[in-house]
Amino acid sequence: MEKMRLFIAIPLPEPVLKRLAEVQHRLKGRVAHRSVRWVRSEGIHLTLKFLGDTTREKVGAIGEALTVVGRNAPGCTVTVEGLGCFPSPRRPRVLWVGVTEPTGRLEALQAAVEEAMTSLGYSPERRGFTPHLTVGRVRRGASRQEMEQIGEAVQTMAVGELATITVDRFELIRSELKPSGAEYTTVETFPLRGDQH
């Protein structure tokens, strides 16, 4: 039985991906070479829910559930700004650019996606939703000194407002792990209710 590695995310417009690539370029100049695996900028998404390995048979039910979510969720406007890392600058593992959305609509959309997927048997995310765009992951073999350097770079590098994005849809995306890195294909697109203002 063929399985697909799937996740649900909001796609980003090309100009935003270019700005994220510029942030990566600036960060690269401040950290040890090869201490971070950088995410290819065209592969950066605002992830709402990671589903993982899913059988083809289940894709139809996922699509139906997400269509209902989209029909009921209004669009919103998000701001891309700031730099941070998980779990903390002292132990950086994931480097990210922040996403803010003051009305709570983005959070409500993610909660609706979470609920719809839980009803199909996917386990709910235990950590709270922190919207972010992953730009790099610290390599497992990074030394303490390299990690300190990465943490310091994240804390001292100013990343102001990069963009404001109108969110009017989200996607079910397939991720295929290839030697050259992950390749992403949109399986289905779900429009949001068009009343973001």
Average pLDDT over residues 45-57: 94
Kindly state whether residue 197 falls inside one of the protein's structural domains. Answer: no
Kindly state whether residue 157 falls inside one of the protein's structural domains. Answer: yes
Q: What is the pLDDT of residues 137-190, one digit of tens each?
A: 999 999 999 999 999 999 999 999 999 999 999 999 999 988 877 889 999 999
Kindly state whether residue 8 falls inside one of the protein's structural domains. Answer: yes
Look at the chain and report how many structural domains it folds into: 1
Lowest mean pLDDT among 32-36, 59-63, 64-68, 185-189: 32-36
Kindly state whether residue 84 falls inside one of the protein's structural domains. Answer: yes
Rounded distance between C-alpha atoms, residue 194 and residue 176, angstroms: 32
| Cα dihedral 136/161/183/143 (nearest 10) | 0
**Residue 177: per-residue pLDDT:** 85
Q: 135: burial class by Cβ within 10 Å (0-12, 13-18, 19+)?
A: buried
pLDDT band at 194 (very low <50, low <70, confident <90, very high): low
**Residue 87: per-residue pLDDT:** 94
Average pLDDT over residues 130-138: 95
* Residue 111: other Cβ atoms inside 10 A: 16
State the catalytic residues. Answer: 45, 132
The packing angle between helices 56-72 and 105-118, to 10°, is 150
**Residue 33: per-residue pLDDT:** 87
- Structural contact between residues 147 and 92, judged by C-beta atoms closer than 8 angstroms: yes
Kindly state whether residue 73 falls inside one of the protein's structural domains. Answer: yes
pLDDT of 5 over the 90 cut: yes
% of the chain residues with pLDDT over 90:
86
This prediction has a pTM of: 0.91
pLDDT of 197 over the 70 cut: no
Average pLDDT over residues 116-136: 93
Q: What is the pLDDT of residues 87-118, one digit of tens each?
A: 999 999 999 999 999 999 999 999 999 999 99
Kindly state whether residue 196 falls inside one of the protein's structural domains. Answer: no
- Structural contact between residues 80 and 98, judged by C-beta atoms closer than 8 angstroms: yes
Kindly state whether residue 171 falls inside one of the protein's structural domains. Answer: yes
pLDDT band at 196 (very low <50, low <70, confident <90, very high): very low
Q: What is the CATH classification number for the domain harbouring 52?
A: 3.90.1140.10
pLDDT band at 125 (very low <50, low <70, confident <90, very high): confident
Kindly state whether residue 71 falls inside one of the protein's structural domains. Answer: yes
DSSP 40: P
Q: What is the pLDDT of residues 17-39, one digit of tens each?
A: 999 999 999 999 999 989 999 99
Average pLDDT over residues 49-75: 95
Q: Residue 123 sits in which domain range?
A: 3-191
